Structure 1
Amino acid sequence: MRESVSAGERLTLTLRYLATGETQVSLACQFRISHNLISAIIPEVCRAIYQVLKDEYVKLPSTEEEWRAIAHGYFAEWNYPLCLGALDGKRILICKPPNSGSDYYDYKGHFSLIMMALVDASYKFMYVDVGAIGRSSDGGVWDKCTLKEGIETKLLNIPEPEEIPFTRKKIPYTIVGDDAFPLKTYLMKPFPGRDQTAEKRIFNYRLSRARRTSENAFGILAARFQVFKNPIRTSPTNVKDISFAAVALHNFLREHSKDTYSPPELIDREDEANGRMHQGQWHQHQHHAFEGLHAMGRGHSNDAKNIRASLCDYFNNEGRVAWQDQMALLH
């Protein structure tokens, strides 16, 4: 019998596949391993990578102290108070699975799976859910998300409302999202519309500044793991394994090799002197990597409006930063 493919070769092959997005036929020629064996090796190694890394590198905070540490990171890095993370959802493009009909066919005419993620202040994924089929409504995806359930049923040990820094106003800890998400007491989104007051523009700029962490996390992921650059040619189950492995490796590399894996020029940055935003190099890789989600419903409560109004007042008064007026005009 021929020698088996070693663990080192299996890992090398899989990492090359994730990083380059090369076809399995091309990998078969390079590694001199049959195409059929490669198709079994890649998902198996991806599952192993995720199982080994997930408990340490892909996890939600489990205590109030850990949640407060996340909020401290957002306040220190992005001047946004009581923030538990940035929420975003993307569509992972796939090739049409056999005998699937229109199940994975989305509103943009692609076949896709949906990834929902919560990101911390340093571009690391704390929570990832992959698997909703492309034709699912985006609102339905969020309604069925285990993160939403955990927040609303108070299973996540999120701290009770606290005072906004430098004020006597108490508000709940919140996550930030874009206009696709509904406004909730635990989820802040921008004020809608174009004709806005200066105060609302300031709020939208400050929220988008914090929310940029999720956009950049997905951007870094797409730039470094180019398997996402084109529709992935494998089963939806294997796409989930590939996605989870890439996220775990992303967090591992952000922790241990940040400057090499994601140097400053790869990430969006602001020039506070002239108010300009400089796009990171990840934008060059983004066109075919991930698709955004549609609006997920407009319903919101008066309590959620009041929390947003309190934050708006804070950003325009006690929580002002020197550059925000100029940046808000360009936002």
Structure 2
Amino acid sequence: MDEVQKEQIVKDLLECTNIALDVFGTRTIQKRKLITDMLTSCEIACKLPAKKKRSVWVKRRRSFEHRKESNYDREEIGMNPTCFKMLLNYIRDDVQKKNTTMREAIPAAEKFASILKFFVSGESFKSLYESEKIKLSTAFISKATPEVCKALWNKLKDTYLKFPSTIRDWKAVAEDFSKKCDFPNCLGVLQTKHIYFKGLRRDGDYYRSASGRHSVKLLALVDANYKFLYTDVGATGQKSDVETLAQSTLQEILHEADDYFPRERIIGNNRKVPYVIVGSDSMPLHKHLLKPYPAASILKKHQVFNIRLAVAKHVADHAFHLLENKFKLLKSVIMLRADTVELITLTMCIIHNFMLEFDEEYKNEIHSDILIQADDKQRHMDDFSDPEVHEAEEVRLDYMEYFNEEGLIEWEVE
């Protein structure tokens, strides 16, 4: 309350007092009491706090004017400014809101950068906000994350996560494997990975894996250039690899491979073998899906065959390693709902493919040396009563003979 307001209140009280004195006339006691009450009222009025004049009717947001699209640190967002701008231009129209008379909308660049920081750091929204690594509130960023991920997925999936659709595309994939892994007729390596998250109470044990944590499974087909050709996320953590493959669309493609894959090709000494996908030992054996022999096998031929599959499988191992190192969120327990976790995982895979094309520093992280990790777990032999399994085993035998004879590499027998 300023001095002018206080003075006006005192004047009003004095005027009211004079009027009251005229009414009471000569009664001294009443006059004395009235004057005392008047002085008390004046004292109280002068102590009243001043009411602040409100300048704005909404809470002010932090300013983003100083931040330009090229000013984001590579270590924070995980990519160079060029890639950041390219991705931002794809989704700007979908995520940028309009300014209103009440306040300006948050820039699309700040929104996208904040989500990338979340992916790259692996920290929670709260931790990033409290450390001032992001300026957006936790409530806002948790709501914006699925919006941005959905925009990226819809815009980029047909370009940077395109499943081979022609015979020529599949033969190009096989040619890369033949050159880089000495593996003919290989159409990719199939592998799974658990993505852990904090399950809701209502989820119960639906997503609980054997480790006791809630997770969804990423099923990915990887080419020789460490790119994802196919991704499927959604199988619960308790599902085996066989069940995960069975509920994916890739299972249908394997059963109708003649409509998708190239015809059988002759390799080596007139060996006519089909094009195949390399899988882990936990995958089902199929005519177009090879898996290693049991590790306990003492046959030299089986060991050579397993080594060649391990060389090809290293491609998928390294692709997942690159993905985890870039987006450390995949190493932590994600504090979001299962459907958002699935969308985030698909988005990370598509950004991985994008960066392998346009980010030289990211491509340089790929190591040329091949790491083979021996698996000492006991394997179970297959049930050969199924005719399809018989056919698949014949294909595996053909490849085993090829790798041990005309396709043998000297270092494999040392």
Question: Shared fold by TM > 0.5?
Answer: yes
Partner of 1:179: 281
Change in 2 beyond 3 A, CA 1:154/1:16: same
Asked whether 1:263 is paired with 2:351, we answer no
Hey, what's the Cα distance between the residues in 2 that align with 1:62 and 1:137? 28
Aligned 8 A contact 1:142 1:148 in 2? yes
The partner residue of 2:113 within 3, 7, 12 is 12
Change in 2 beyond 3 A, CA 1:296/1:95: farther
Two-structure CA RMSD over aligned residues (Å): 2.1
Asked whether 1:317 is paired with 2:371, we answer no
Residue deviations 1:173-214 (CA, integer Å, cap 9, x gap): 000011010111010011114242111111100111011111
Asked whether 1:119 is paired with 2:219, we answer no
Q: What is the one-letter code of the residue matched to 1:18?
A: F
Aligned 8 A contact 2:199 2:338 in 1? no
Deviates more, 1:151-160 or 1:105-114: 151-160
Give the superposition deviation at 1:296.
11
Partner of 1:44: 147
Aligned 8 A contact 1:86 1:119 in 2? yes
Partner of 1:23: 124
Asked whether 1:85 is paired with 2:188, we answer yes
Identify, as 1 or 2, the structure richer in strand: 1
Aligned 8 A contact 2:294 2:381 in 1? no
Give the superposition deviation at 1:255.
1.4
Give the superposition deviation at 1:107.
1.2
Partner of 2:355: 253
TM norm structure 1:
0.86
Q: What is the one-letter code of the residue matched to 1:169?
A: R
Aligned 8 A contact 1:106 1:134 in 2? yes
Hey, what's the Cα distance between the residues in 2 that align with 1:205 and 1:254? 27
Aligned 8 A contact 1:57 1:252 in 2? yes
Q: What is the one-letter code of the residue matched to 1:28?
A: Y
Hey, what's the Cα distance between the residues in 2 that align with 1:5 and 1:205? 53
Q: What is the one-letter code of the residue matched to 2:118?
A: Y
How is 1:270-285 mapped onto 2 (pairs within 5 angstroms)?
270=370, 277=371
Give the superposition deviation at 1:167.
2.4
Hey, what's the Cα distance between the residues in 1 that align with 2:169 and 2:260? 10
Give the structure with higher Rg (CA). Answer: 2
Hey, what's the Cα distance between the residues in 1 that align with 2:212 and 2:409? 43
Asked whether 1:64 is paired with 2:152, we answer no
Q: What is the one-letter code of the residue matched to 2:407?
A: G
Partner of 1:329: none
Deviates more, 1:78-87 or 1:23-32: 23-32
Hey, what's the Cα distance between the residues in 2 that align with 1:314 and 1:155? 23
Q: What is the one-letter code of the residue matched to 2:369?
A: R
Q: What is the one-letter code of the residue matched to 2:411?
A: W
Change in 2 beyond 3 A, CA 1:278/1:64: closer
Identify, as 1 or 2, the structure richer in helix: 2
Aligned 8 A contact 1:139 1:296 in 2? no
Change in 2 beyond 3 A, CA 1:41/1:156: farther
Asked whether 1:134 is paired with 2:234, we answer no
Residue deviations 1:4-35 (CA, integer Å, cap 9, x gap): 11111111111111111121113334233221
Question: Greater RCO between the two (CA within 8 Å, min separation 6)?
Answer: 1
Percent identity over the alignment?
Answer: 33
Asked whether 1:223 is paired with 2:325, we answer yes
The partner residue of 1:207 within 303, 309, 319 is 309
Asked whether 1:144 is paired with 2:247, we answer yes
Asked whether 1:233 is paired with 2:321, we answer no
Change in 2 beyond 3 A, CA 1:215/1:85: same
What 5-or-longer segments of structure 2 have no aligned partner?
Answer: 1-101, 374-378
Hey, what's the Cα distance between the residues in 2 that align with 1:42 and 1:90? 22
Aligned 8 A contact 1:62 1:156 in 2? no
